[in-house]
Amino acid sequence: MSIIFSKELVELFAKKDTVKVLATTDAKGMPHVVVKESLQLNESNQLIYFELLESSQTNKNMVHSIWFNRPVAVALIGTGGESYQIKGKPVKSIVSGLLFRDYYVKIREQLGDVDLAAVWVIEPVEVIDQRFNIRSREEEIRHPYFKHLDRLAK
């Protein structure tokens, strides 16, 4: 079942000043985390990003993920304190064809003389609201033991 994104999250993706981070792992499980400004939603509610460097570790890790069904994670941090994590799986690497050409032209209009190695499509499988007050409230309810007693003292 596909994930439905909240209006807030959709807007967060669209905002220019949102920090967007992609975390992947290589074949040995070594993590690799990078900022990907191009992370956005497509019309199918999937995440896409533009990979400009074919030899990048992220690109290699994404190939590894699509080959071996390994998850990746995206973090979004807004200027208003919004913080989300989205776990997902790469499902497509667009490297040629009409859609690729459209993206290629678009990215070069935006960034100048850059190349485009692939447009990666990530199917979201879980969205986690990472705002501290939300996570803190969840922990209070689910794990009442997870606290230092001095905080409860009279």
Partner 1 sequence: MSIVPKPKATELSFEEVAAKYPQFPRLLLLKTDLQRRGVYYTKQALSKVDPVIHQLGGTHIFGTRDGILTQRPEALILRDGTSVITSPTPLEQNPYIVDFRDGRLVVMDGGVELEEVEYWTKPDYYNLTTSSGIPMSHVASARPQRIYLMPSRYCHFWTDNQGCLFCDIVNNLKQQKSELNLPPRLKPQDVAETIREALKEPGRFTAICLTSGSDFHGAEDFDAEVDYYIEILKAVGENFATPKFPSQLIATAFTEKQLERIYRETGLLSYTPDIEVLNERLFEWICPGKARWVGYQEWKRRMVRAVDIFGRGRVNTCIVAGVELAKPYGFNDEDAALQAVLAEAEDLASQGVSTVYTVWVPRPGSYLRGQKNASLEYYVRLALGLQELRQKYQLSIDHDDYRRCGNHPDSDLARI
Interface residue list for partner 1 (CB under 8 A): 26-27, 54, 60-61, 63-64, 66-68, 91-98, 100-101, 103-105, 108, 116, 118
Nearer to partner 1, 14 or 95 (CB): 95
The least distance separating partner 1 from the CB of residue 64, rounded to whole angstroms, comes to: 5
The least distance separating partner 1 from the CB of residue 90, rounded to whole angstroms, comes to: 8
Query: What's the CA gap between 50 and 20, in Å, rounded?
Result: 13
Bridge partner residues of 90 (DSSP): 122
| Tokens at 126, concatenated | 């879980």
End-to-end Cα spacing for the chain: 48
Nearer to partner 1, 18 or 58 (CB): 58
The least distance separating partner 1 from the CB of residue 29, rounded to whole angstroms, comes to: 13
Query: What's the CA gap between 139 and 126, in Å, rounded?
Result: 19
Nearer to partner 1, 108 or 137 (CB): 108
Nearer to partner 1, 66 or 127 (CB): 66
- Which residue, chain included where needed, has tokens 């909240």? 6
Is 12 exposed, middle or buried (CB count within 10 Å of its CB: 0-12, 13-18, 19+)?
buried
